[in-house]
Chain A
Amino acid sequence: MKRIVPIGPYHPLQEEPEFFKLIVEGEKVIDLEINIGYNHRGHEFIAQKLTWDQIPFLVERICGICSDSHPYACVMAIEDAAHIEVPLRAQYIRTIIGELERIHSHYLWLGLAGHFIGYNTVWMWVWRYREPLLDLFELIMGNRNHYAINKAGGARRDILPEDYPKIEKYLDLLEEKNTMFTKAVLDDPVIRARLEGVGILSREDAVAYAVLGPTARGSGYAIDVRKDEPYDAYDKISWDMIVCEEGDVLAKAKVRLLECFESIKIVRQCLKNMPDGPIENRVEEIPAGEGIGRHEAPRGEVFHYVRSDGSNYPIRHKIRAPSFMNIPSNEVAVRGYSIADAALVLAAVDPCYCCTERTVVYEDRKPKYSGADLLRLSWQKTETLRRRYKR
């Protein structure tokens, strides 16, 4: 007999409001319904009311965990539209902050994954070593989160040479602790029993659902913007892409933990090779045209598109966050596992609902509006507006 187990929208397991309907038979999950929209704030609309210089501050507030990734992709899109080069030093600064943020995000996920399997020791432990990193952010940029380091044409703040030893010192601590976590998490029989062989997403499914980031790399699908289309300092230093074949939750944890080592490697090299010079090129004006920016956020590729008509404001700003692609893959990953595993599997893609929120209207389990319907509605609205303003 089918039963429905609701999770959310305000559930102690979740940080954010989202609603899952687990359709179960006994203990086994046979289907999943995802209902989001509790977090919709209308960023793309607000962006059209802000000037080019203000937009990075807005997109930063899409998500607090990847608060460097969105502005990063956004300023890359603006730079693409304005055809400007970024000074070398600014490129290195951005790369360093991007990688430090990846470590902070992966640690956050690891801690929460520990919390989800009822292993709070892992949570407390990992978050304890996340704290010095936030101190480092505060040292460099003045805030623990929402760093505002990215600016069209360069970086907003410089990393002072006297801060290098502090960063190095933290990286040493981090490398030691990351080795410990990797050993602890991957060798612990309890964690292994909970994570191994759970929530398997096969490579075919990963490709079919177009998943991104560690979710894809954990399923043996090697995709990473930093390697595929290198930007900023990523092609000037050596690092490896981490790919695991298994596709279960343990593989995703493994990818994230090993990626932290790569991030440490990248930051070390960047600090060593950091060139001198200016940290920003002044952007005089943004000509009419369009630009795209792609950045590998901790969860996968984040994509920004801007269109300019030559004025101070963008006329279109489109955002696609990685979780938007990753969350639907839960449908196949969670099927066939027990309810106890479901919470973990749903969290395994490191979902970020505040990045994802789009408004979808559902009726009888089916989207009410298809693409064609939305087009028709949009035409209707244009028509009414035209009539109202008599153009």
Chain B
Amino acid sequence: MTNAKLWGLKKSPWVFHVAAASCNNCDIEILDVITPRWDVERFGIVLVGSPRHADALLVTGVLNRKSLPRVIHVYEQTPKPCLVIAVGSCTCDNHIFRPSYNAVGPYDKHIPVDVYIPGCPPKPEAIISGVVKALKRL
């Protein structure tokens, strides 16, 4: 059963985009990836409106105290197996916000992360390559 699900996941992953406390840049680059120049919708990668429809979560931005419970909630709602792709340096290691009183650590402290895409912001090419790597791992 799991194998069938993984096979389905590989073919056209639907992604849900979660911005914790992001500066918008990674979010814009994610949107950029689906606009004409890169246009990953060709490969069946679609941004969906609900985590319940999603195969993968694209998480951006540093986690803060207020968004942490919401992000965990979104993760719990996503059907498993699901991929968690951390986009941007903030998601990997808190980046410049490390001294902040409101940043509660990188994502992998709280939810399992499959792929890290560092960069501030990562270029659309890097995001695509990260997603491809995540799919290859399956």
Q: Name the one of B25, B35, B62 contacting A127, with C-beta atoms under 8 angstroms.
A: B35
Given contacts A12-B50, A16-B19, A124-B36, contact A40 B64 (CB under 8 A): yes
Q: Name the one of A41, A57, A111 contacting B103, with C-beta atoms under 8 angstroms.
A: A41
B5 interfacial by beta-carbon distance below 8 Å: no
* Docked complex Cα distance between A58 and B25 (Å): 14
Q: Which residues of B contact A352 (CB under 8 A)?
A: 24
Q: Which residues of A contact B96 (CB under 8 A)?
A: 46, 57-58, 61
* Docked complex Cα distance between A42 and B64 (Å): 10
Q: Are B24 and A124 in contact, with the CB atoms below 8 A?
A: no
- Interfacial residues of chain A within 132-185, with CB under 8 A of chain B in the complex: 144-146
Q: Which residues of A contact B31 (CB under 8 A)?
A: 15, 127
Q: Name the one of B28, B36, B70, B97 contacting A15, with C-beta atoms under 8 angstroms.
A: B28
Q: With CB as the reference atom, state the residue of chain A lying closest to B36.
A: A128
- Interfacial residues of chain A within 1-21, with CB under 8 A of chain B in the complex: 9-10, 12, 15-17
Q: Are B25 and A145 in contact, with the CB atoms below 8 A?
A: yes
Interface string of B49-67 (1 = CB under 8 A from A): 1110000000001101011
Q: Are B23 and A63 in contact, with the CB atoms below 8 A?
A: yes
* Docked complex Cα distance between A323 and B89 (Å): 25
B48 interfacial by beta-carbon distance below 8 Å: yes
A49 interfacial by beta-carbon distance below 8 Å: yes
B32 interfacial by beta-carbon distance below 8 Å: yes
Q: Which residues of B contact A357 (CB under 8 A)?
A: 21
A38 interfacial by beta-carbon distance below 8 Å: yes
* Docked complex Cα distance between A127 and B29 (Å): 11
Q: Are A10 and B18 in contact, with the CB atoms below 8 A?
A: yes
A62 interfacial by beta-carbon distance below 8 Å: yes
Q: Are A38 and B64 in contact, with the CB atoms below 8 A?
A: yes
B20 interfacial by beta-carbon distance below 8 Å: yes
Q: Are A127 and B49 in contact, with the CB atoms below 8 A?
A: no
A328 interfacial by beta-carbon distance below 8 Å: no
Q: Which residues of A contact B26 (CB under 8 A)?
A: 64
Q: Are A128 and B67 in contact, with the CB atoms below 8 A?
A: no
Q: Which residues of B contact A302 (CB under 8 A)?
A: none
* Docked complex Cα distance between A122 and B64 (Å): 34
* Docked complex Cα distance between A144 and B119 (Å): 11
Q: Are B24 and A15 in contact, with the CB atoms below 8 A?
A: yes
Q: Are B48 and A17 in contact, with the CB atoms below 8 A?
A: no
Q: Which residues of B contact A144 (CB under 8 A)?
A: 29, 121, 123
* Docked complex Cα distance between A46 and B62 (Å): 14
* Docked complex Cα distance between A26 and B61 (Å): 37
Interface string of B7-47 (1 = CB under 8 A from A): 00000000000111111111111011001110000000001
A369 interfacial by beta-carbon distance below 8 Å: no
Q: With CB as the reference atom, state the residue of chain B lying closest to A127.
A: B35
Q: Are A45 and B35 in contact, with the CB atoms below 8 A?
A: no
Shortest Cβ gap from A157 to chain B (Å): 17
* Docked complex Cα distance between A146 and B95 (Å): 14
Q: Are B102 and A15 in contact, with the CB atoms below 8 A?
A: no
Q: List 12 A-B contacts (CB under 8 A).
A: A9-B70, A12-B50, A38-B20, A40-B102, A41-B62, A61-B96, A62-B23, A64-B25, A64-B26, A145-B29, A145-B121, A146-B25
Residue numbers of A with Cβ under 8 A of B are 9-10, 12, 15-17, 37-42, 45-46, 49, 57-58, 61-65, 67, 108, 111, 123-124, 127-128, 131, 144-146, 352, 354, 357
Known: A42-B101, A42-B103, A146-B120. 5 other contacts (CB 8 A): A10-B74, A15-B24, A17-B19, A39-B22, A63-B24
